[in-house]
Chain A
Amino acid sequence: MADIQHYSHDAGWKHTILRGLLYLVLILFAAYYLFPLFVMISTSLKSLDEIREGSLISLPRVITFDAWTYAWNEACVGVECSGIKIYFWNSVKMAVPAVLISTFLGAINGYALTKWRFKGANIVFALLLFGCFIPFQVVLLPMSQVLGSLGLASSTTGLVLVHVVYGLCFTTLFFRNYYVSIPDELVKAATIDGAGFFTIFWRIILPISTPIIVVSVIWQFTQIWNDFLFGASFASGDNAPMTVALNNIVNTTTGVKQYNVDMATALLTGLPTLLVYVLAGKYFVRGLTAGSVKG
């Protein structure tokens, strides 16, 4: 009896130490990732004078949002000094249609590849899958030629097209894998009920695709919003997306480097993706694991 008590006491003590170690490691990792964010936020809230005087990690003495409003309304991108806002809207005009179109096409592709299997469906899918592994740089030149011949060079529409084409592989993969787990009998039943390809898609398949739509939207939005290379290559000047403008603001400032403005601009650029994750993050995880467990 005494032995058992001794043993369990010992185990409890060990358990506490291991737990403590675990938390310590986790906190260190969290701090490692959060520290840059902290520096960015605190710097963006300081005045330029304070940045020059204080240290990198010190908290702002006086909190000011001047850098944020300046970044939004007045920061100079190249020679144009009207802030980041027009580029923000450029990114919105690029990302929203591109995300919606690529998600929608991915859904149709996935549906056709799983529920209306045709000869060579596997080859088509394999080729689409292959598209996921093509590096951005490889397609730059051919893509610019295509855009040029379509008359879409340096336009937001052109960027939308590029992102739709590039995102299609990923969205098709998502939807295809999701629809594989949906029983074929559902489509058979609807066929006998008299529904055709698109009726089944709209009335039955799409309404049960919420989790994977969320995954696709988050993934595509993050990819497209954060993209720099396509934006820098295929859209210039007033049509550039926010990421390109951010780069220009940070790199082209002459005279005094306005760290607080740079930080605020960077945060503004990152905010939309952050927001999407916060709002839909739990669906993201749920959607990624969907189909792996029956239920």
Chain B
Amino acid sequence: MASLTLDKVRKAFGPVEVLKEINIAIEDGEFLVLVGPSGCGKSTLLNLIAGLEGSSDGEIRIGDRVINDVHPKDRNIAMVFQSYALYPNMTVRKNITFGLEIRGVSAAERDKAVADVAKLLQIEALLDRKPSQLSGGQRQRVAMGRALVRDPDIFLFDEPLSNLDAKLRVDMRTEIKKLHQRLGATIVYVTHDQIEAMTLASRIAVMKDGILQQFDTPQNIYERPNNIFVAGFIGSPSMNFINATLINDNGNLAVSIKRDNDPIILPLKDAPESYQGYVGKDVVFGIRPEGLTHKRTGSDQPGSQYFNFDCKVEVIEPTGADTMTVVEIGGKEIVARVRPDRAPQPGEIMTFSADMSQISLFDPVTELRI
């Protein structure tokens, strides 16, 4: 187990810079998730940590040891790959112990290690099979077994669940989380799935175009996204962005959203100091679907600040637990999360409540959080 530090890490392929000054530091036992759309550089970053690619600049440290020029096999890391990368010609047992064998661990110790890991992952019955005789979920377990058996400082996971079907993915997600809690291992996990990121991580690094957009705890990233990209990427359905103006409404700051007939005015209580400079200017008003609900009162949930407005319903999408209600405000489709028993009919005029305690304002030009 060890901490991991990435200090101003850069990576360029020729003139193309794929990673720009990445600074990340996690403590021993943390679960770091690198998340972002494809091509954002998250897998490259993982390969840099693994040593499968060399960084162009910056420093990578495991614990206090700088590992930039250390060969992958000497970094004391283990990696689980998206395709599992099980050796097709070897049995499960051989697959798991191959790394130990190469490192000169005695046969007796190898047998004990493989038995322990097989028990932990419940793959004892599969040890003498070849990878081709295993199902996707079983292969996944074997791939994890191969990483676990080495007892490394850091585990690296490269989209390990993306080849599994939806149901199995959720199960394995829980198992990985359990495993992390039991072993207390330091894990770096790459995914493009923001739900995986939210559920697994102790800290998330959101990336886009080789730039680290935000590095924080899942809850902070969810509640206080750094910019419009992070706000839109994390959370499903994603955050609503509405073009609005910040106004001074009788001494209180408020968000004014233009409409054909009358504007929606949503007052902001306890507005942070940073909002002051934007009074009278355009802003992007971000509110998550769960912040827009059927009509509620402040007493429903202490600490919330509900303000009501009427709007025509365009489409409804029931999900069972909630009914996603699509309305049009300011020329944009906005999703509100409504309790099924309060769900409207399309075309109906309905009163919505906006919870103003959980909103974000962004600069429309820089797209940064205000």
Q: A24-32, A61-69, A139-147, A191-199: which one contacts chain B? A: A191-199
User: Contacts A185-B81, A188-B52, A188-B81 known; A194 to B103 CB distance under 8 Å?
Assistant: yes
Query: A195 to B103, alpha carbons, bound, how many Å?
Result: 9
0/1 string, B9-38, CB within 8 A of A gives 1: 000000000000000000000000000000
CB neighbours (8 Å) of A183 from chain B are: 83, 85
Whether A189 sits at the interface, judged by CB under 8 Å, is yes
Query: A183 to B81, alpha carbons, bound, how many Å?
Result: 11
The answer to whether B102 and A199 touch across the interface, beta carbons within 8 angstroms, is: yes
0/1 string, B56-98, CB within 8 A of A gives 1: 0000000000000000110001110111010111100000001
The answer to whether A191 and B88 touch across the interface, beta carbons within 8 angstroms, is: no
Whether B235 sits at the interface, judged by CB under 8 Å, is no
Whether B50 sits at the interface, judged by CB under 8 Å, is yes
CB neighbours (8 Å) of A195 from chain B are: 73, 98, 102
The answer to whether B85 and A188 touch across the interface, beta carbons within 8 angstroms, is: yes
CB neighbours (8 Å) of A207 from chain B are: 89
Whether A190 sits at the interface, judged by CB under 8 Å, is yes
The answer to whether A191 and B99 touch across the interface, beta carbons within 8 angstroms, is: no
CB neighbours (8 Å) of B89 from chain A are: 204, 207-208
Q: Which residues in chain A, 162-204, are within 8 Å of chain B measured between CB atoms?
A: 183, 185-186, 188-195, 199, 203-204
Q: Which listed residue, A191, A204, A208, touches B73 by the CB 8 Å rule?
A: A191
CB neighbours (8 Å) of B98 from chain A are: 190, 193, 195, 203
The answer to whether A186 and B73 touch across the interface, beta carbons within 8 angstroms, is: no
User: Contacts A188-B52, A199-B102, A207-B89 known; A193 to B81 CB distance under 8 Å?
Assistant: no
CB neighbours (8 Å) of B72 from chain A are: 191-192
Query: A244 to B275, alpha carbons, bound, how many Å?
Result: 93
CB neighbours (8 Å) of A192 from chain B are: 50, 52, 72-73, 77-79, 99
| Shortest Cβ distance from residue B69 to the other chain A in the assembled complex, whole angstroms | 15
Closest Cβ neighbor of B52 among chain A residues: A188
Query: A194 to B78, alpha carbons, bound, how many Å?
Result: 10
The answer to whether B87 and A188 touch across the interface, beta carbons within 8 angstroms, is: no
Size class of the A contact interface (CB-based, 8 Å): 10 to 19
0/1 string, A196-237, CB within 8 A of B gives 1: 000100011001100000000000000000000000000000
Query: A190 to B102, alpha carbons, bound, how many Å?
Result: 10
Q: Which listed residue, B77, B82, B88, touches A208 by the CB 8 Å rule?
A: B88
The answer to whether B79 and A189 touch across the interface, beta carbons within 8 angstroms, is: yes
The answer to whether A189 and B85 touch across the interface, beta carbons within 8 angstroms, is: yes
The answer to whether A194 and B73 touch across the interface, beta carbons within 8 angstroms, is: yes
Tally of contacts, chain A with chain B, CB under 8 A: 52
Q: Which listed residue, A185, A186, A194, A208, touches B102 by the CB 8 Å rule?
A: A194
Query: A185 to B85, alpha carbons, bound, how many Å?
Result: 6
CB neighbours (8 Å) of A186 from chain B are: 85, 87
| Shortest Cβ distance from residue B315 to the other chain A in the assembled complex, whole angstroms | 39
CB neighbours (8 Å) of B146 from chain A are: 189, 193
CB neighbours (8 Å) of A193 from chain B are: 73, 98-99, 102, 146
| Shortest Cβ distance from residue A256 to the other chain B in the assembled complex, whole angstroms | 59
Q: Which listed residue, B82, B88, B99, touches A185 by the CB 8 Å rule?
A: B82
CB neighbours (8 Å) of A191 from chain B are: 52, 72-73
Closest Cβ neighbor of A188 among chain B residues: B52
CB neighbours (8 Å) of B78 from chain A are: 192
CB neighbours (8 Å) of B82 from chain A are: 185
The answer to whether B87 and A204 touch across the interface, beta carbons within 8 angstroms, is: yes
Closest Cβ neighbor of A199 among chain B residues: B102
| Shortest Cβ distance from residue B33 to the other chain A in the assembled complex, whole angstroms | 20
| Shortest Cβ distance from residue B227 to the other chain A in the assembled complex, whole angstroms | 33
Closest Cβ neighbor of B80 among chain A residues: A189
CB neighbours (8 Å) of A190 from chain B are: 87, 98
0/1 string, B130-165, CB within 8 A of A gives 1: 000000000000000010000000000000000000
Query: A183 to B86, alpha carbons, bound, how many Å?
Result: 10
Query: A193 to B78, alpha carbons, bound, how many Å?
Result: 8
Query: A204 to B73, alpha carbons, bound, how many Å?
Result: 17
CB neighbours (8 Å) of A208 from chain B are: 88-89
Query: A208 to B89, alpha carbons, bound, how many Å?
Result: 6
CB neighbours (8 Å) of B73 from chain A are: 191-195
The answer to whether A194 and B99 touch across the interface, beta carbons within 8 angstroms, is: yes
Query: A243 to B84, alpha carbons, bound, how many Å?
Result: 50
| Shortest Cβ distance from residue A199 to the other chain B in the assembled complex, whole angstroms | 7
| Shortest Cβ distance from residue A26 to the other chain B in the assembled complex, whole angstroms | 37
Among the interface residues A186, A192, A199, A203, which one has the most CB atoms of the partner chain B within 10 A? A192
| Shortest Cβ distance from residue B104 to the other chain A in the assembled complex, whole angstroms | 9
Closest Cβ neighbor of B94 among chain A residues: A203
Closest Cβ neighbor of B150 among chain A residues: A193
| Shortest Cβ distance from residue A90 to the other chain B in the assembled complex, whole angstroms | 37
Query: A188 to B83, alpha carbons, bound, how many Å?
Result: 11
Query: A229 to B124, alpha carbons, bound, how many Å?
Result: 60
CB neighbours (8 Å) of B50 from chain A are: 188, 192
CB neighbours (8 Å) of B99 from chain A are: 192-194
| Shortest Cβ distance from residue A289 to the other chain B in the assembled complex, whole angstroms | 18
The 6 closest A-B pairs by CB, nearest first: A193-B99, A194-B73, A207-B89, A185-B85, A189-B85, A194-B102
Can you identify 18 A-B contacts, CB atoms within 8 angstroms?
A186-B85, A186-B87, A188-B50, A188-B85, A189-B79, A189-B81, A189-B85, A190-B87, A190-B98, A192-B50, A193-B73, A193-B102, A194-B99, A194-B102, A203-B87, A203-B98, A204-B89, A204-B90
| Known interface pairs A192-B73, A199-B102, A203-B87; 4 further A-B residue pairs with C-beta atoms within 8 A, sorted by A's residue number | A192-B50, A192-B79, A193-B98, A195-B98
